[in-house]
Chains A and B, each alone.
Chain A
Amino acid sequence: MIEIKDLHKSYKMGSNSLHVLKGINFSVEEGELVAIMGSSGSGKSTLLNILGMLDVANSGEYNLDGVPIKNLNETKAAKYRNKFLGFVFQSFNLINYKSALENVALPLYYQRIPRKERLERALKYLEQVGLKEWATHLPSELSGGQKQRVAIARAMASEPKVLLADEPTGALDSVTSYEVMDLIQKINDQGNTILVVTHEDDIAHMCKRIVHLKDGVIVEDKKVKQVRASEYV
């Protein structure tokens, strides 16, 4: 599903540049649930942003579902993001004046799906994350866990090939974190490919594979026995 070869990324900081990713080689099969770990500043978010086409690498290859991702202009990147990718952020990034339902329906608006169908489909995904009753509520009326579940529903609404989550539990307490991970596991069970950036070991062990980043390179890449989050909930 994802294939990257010798990926380099550096940020220009005035006269000197900061080399963040120093040759990443890594591939992900369909249906995998991968945790990306590493200390702060090791380049996890940078990697995820490149995979999400929110940022571009300086060099290296990137194939997504057999499509080479290179020389993207903004318009094309937007199209690919909309078609192939779903994002979940640490800070939820919901639009505050839109209801839960409208937030979930938003990616479908950019797929030019008619309003009625859009809202029907959004409601289906809200139901999947257990928030059907909260459909008309604004984000400010939801708890952190609920917000993140809305964000996950939104990421799933466009039926992406890959779900990218940057510290989805970073802003949540442990119980809520497990609820969110339970949801992510269930989505993965349906065959979706998911990458989760996390700091926490217990969250990482709820994935099927852990990739360790250090100083811009992968230092460890191992399959693990998945711990089901439902055991804790």
Chain B
Amino acid sequence: MFDLERWQEIFDTIRKNKLRTFLTGLSVASGIFILVILLGFGQGMQNGVAKEFSEDASNRIIVWTRTTTKEYKGLNPGRRIQLRNENNEYVQEQFKEDIARKSAIYRVGGSTVVFENENLGYSVQGISPGFQFIENQFISSGRYINELDEKEAKKVAIIGRKIAREIGKSYEEIVDNYLDISGIRFKIVGVYTDGGGDREEDRIFIPITTAQRVFNGADKVNNLTFTLSPSENFEASVEQSKIFTNNLKNYLKEAHMVSPEDNSAINAFNTLEESKRYFGLIGNIKFFFWFVGICTIIAGVVGVSNIMLIVVKERTKEIGIRKALGAKPWAIIGMILHESIFITAISGFTGLIFSMGLLELIGPHVEVDYVVNPSVNFSVAMSTVILLIISGAIAGFFPAYRAANIHTIEALRDE
């Protein structure tokens, strides 16, 4: 490696065989280039899928009720089940350990919403501050509904970005102005955005306490929503949320005298179990791209080996001459390997730099469905280049070894 004379000899050879060197280098560089771009888009797709399903906090649980379908303890089927504040309070107390965020929902039915004489046909829901995290919402302007609003049942509201857009005014003109909900004035304190996009930004939220008090809700609740505290891993989280959901349903069935066999009256949707499917999908995509990547590497290795084979074959006569002049077999092998490692290394890194550069440049701007910010892990790309160099060297070794051991006379005869 540190034999200066050999470096000079190799540079001579490279300088005087520009085309051969260029072609060898080009195939290695383009191999790496393609591989990195491929891995980049694999990552991009993974990012895209992850984003697509990151709309809501992924361990969200939502509870709703319908009518009973089974007779139980002398009660007829077809009875409407109505959740109440006490149910909510009990659950929050009972499952304190498991719950991270919580919010009950009370839907204000048949309300009319008016902003500056304009009728807005949007639904109004009463919530708690925890709802922001359960729905994965962000604040564009102003603030979210807070604990104090809820505690004092203030007449405040937040509206979705989509609603703000339809009003057609700047956030400054909207926030801190007033809104009429069924004739009652509410102060708009903020505009929210939702990870789920437009279709989840068309609701107006007010504190649940206000909703119940002002719109005759008494202690009625439509839904209970929660997110759970994270467990050490995904599987454990799934298990935890399953148990939680079951316990929750059992309690609610008992409290509302619903038959344990009634699967319709009390419902709970557990997004974590749902997201398990998507995580599986992401896993498959990852696997697919690794598979393609590995195939590309193998193709690259085969390509490099082939080039080495051809290069050595082409140089058989030269090798014979060198041997006649006193080159020892290992000097021949060393020379060929040294040269091939040098060329694959230089061109491999060139391909790496170009492809990473391209990804850096266009990656952040790529945002079509399911492909977001294609990028590649530098150390993965680096190891690939090194793997290619090593395999190129190994692949080059055998023809070099054979060439170095061809009978000199035979090698000289080669044309």
Is A78 an interface residue when CB atoms closer than 8 A count as contact?
yes
Residues of A close to B329: CB separation below 8 A: 74-75, 78
Is A81 an interface residue when CB atoms closer than 8 A count as contact?
yes
Residues of A close to B323: CB separation below 8 A: 78
Residues of B close to A55: CB separation below 8 A: 407, 409
Q: A78-B323, A97-B17, A102-B12 are in contact. Are A109 and B5 (CB under 8 A)?
A: yes
Residues of A close to B324: CB separation below 8 A: 52, 54, 81, 87, 93
Q: A75-B328, A106-B325 are in contact. Are A95 and B8 (CB under 8 A)?
A: no
Bound complex: CA A111 to CA B331 (Å): 12
Min Cβ gap B311→A in Å is 13
Is A63 an interface residue when CB atoms closer than 8 A count as contact?
no
Residues of B close to A78: CB separation below 8 A: 323, 326-329
Could you write out 5 A-B pairs with CB less than 8 Å apart?
Answer: A94-B321, A95-B321, A107-B326, A110-B326, A111-B326
Whether B331 pairs with A110 at a CB distance below 8 angstroms is yes
Residues of B close to A124: CB separation below 8 A: none
Count, A-B residue pairs, CB within 8 A: 65
Is B147 an interface residue when CB atoms closer than 8 A count as contact?
no
Is A42 an interface residue when CB atoms closer than 8 A count as contact?
no
Contact of A74 among B321, B328, B409 (CB under 8 A): B328
Is B85 an interface residue when CB atoms closer than 8 A count as contact?
no
Is B412 an interface residue when CB atoms closer than 8 A count as contact?
yes
Residues of A close to B234: CB separation below 8 A: none
Is B16 an interface residue when CB atoms closer than 8 A count as contact?
yes
Q: 0/1 per residue, A69-105, Cβ < 8 Å to B? A: 0000011001101110001010001110110001000
Is A66 an interface residue when CB atoms closer than 8 A count as contact?
no
Residues of B close to A98: CB separation below 8 A: 12, 16
Min Cβ gap B348→A in Å is 25
Is A198 an interface residue when CB atoms closer than 8 A count as contact?
no
Whether A110 pairs with B325 at a CB distance below 8 angstroms is yes
Q: A74-B405, A82-B325, A110-B326 are in contact. Are A95 and B412 (CB under 8 A)?
A: no
Is A222 an interface residue when CB atoms closer than 8 A count as contact?
no
Min Cβ gap B299→A in Å is 30
Bound complex: CA A81 to CA B408 (Å): 12
Whether A82 pairs with B326 at a CB distance below 8 angstroms is yes
Is B239 an interface residue when CB atoms closer than 8 A count as contact?
no
Q: A75-B330, A81-B324, A97-B17 are in contact. Are A115 and B318 (CB under 8 A)?
A: no
Please classify how large the interface on chain B is, using the bins under 10, 10 to 19, 20 to 34, 35 or more. Answer: 20 to 34
CB within 8 Å of A: which B312-357 residues: 317-318, 320-331
Contact of A158 among B9, B12, B326, B330 (CB under 8 A): B326
Is A114 an interface residue when CB atoms closer than 8 A count as contact?
yes
Residues of A close to B325: CB separation below 8 A: 81-82, 87, 106-107, 110, 154, 158
Min Cβ gap A88→B in Å is 11
Closest to A45 in B: B409
Min Cβ gap B91→A in Å is 84
Interface residue ranges, A against B (CB under 8 Å):
49, 52, 54-55, 74-75, 78-79, 81-83, 87, 89, 93-95, 97-98, 102, 106-107, 109-112, 114-115, 154, 158
Whether A79 pairs with B8 at a CB distance below 8 angstroms is no
Min Cβ gap B161→A in Å is 69
Q: 0/1 per residue, B2-32, Cβ < 8 Å to A? A: 0001001100110011000000000000000
Residues of B close to A49: CB separation below 8 A: 409
Whether B8 pairs with A106 at a CB distance below 8 angstroms is no
Closest to A158 in B: B326
A-B contacts besides A55-B407, A82-B325, 7 pairs, CB < 8 Å: A74-B328, A74-B329, A75-B328, A75-B330, A79-B326, A109-B5, A110-B331
Bound complex: CA A75 to CA B405 (Å): 10
CB within 8 Å of A: which B134-169 residues: none
Contact of A81 among B5, B17, B326, B330 (CB under 8 A): B326
Bound complex: CA A74 to CA B327 (Å): 10
Closest to B408 in A: A54
Closest to A138 in B: B16
Min Cβ gap B197→A in Å is 64
Q: With a 10 A CB-CB cut-off, give which of A49, A83, A114 has the most chain B CB atoms.
A: A49
Closest to B16 in A: A97
Min Cβ gap B378→A in Å is 38
Which 6 residue pairs are nearest across A and B when measured between Cβ atoms?
A: A82-B326, A97-B16, A110-B326, A107-B325, A78-B328, A75-B328
Bound complex: CA A112 to CA B329 (Å): 15
Bound complex: CA A110 to CA B323 (Å): 10
Min Cβ gap B404→A in Å is 8
Bound complex: CA A107 to CA B328 (Å): 12
Q: 0/1 per residue, B379-415, Cβ < 8 Å to A? A: 0000000000000000000000000010111001000
Whether A79 pairs with B328 at a CB distance below 8 angstroms is yes
Bound complex: CA A111 to CA B327 (Å): 9
Min Cβ gap B223→A in Å is 81
Min Cβ gap A198→B in Å is 19
Residues of B close to A87: CB separation below 8 A: 324-325
Contact of A54 among B8, B12, B405, B409 (CB under 8 A): B409
Residues of B close to A89: CB separation below 8 A: 412
Bound complex: CA A106 to CA B12 (Å): 12
Min Cβ gap B73→A in Å is 99
Q: With a 10 A CB-CB cut-off, give which of B317, B324, B408 has the most chain A CB atoms.
A: B324
Whether A93 pairs with B412 at a CB distance below 8 angstroms is yes
Residues of A close to B320: CB separation below 8 A: 93
Residues of A close to B330: CB separation below 8 A: 75
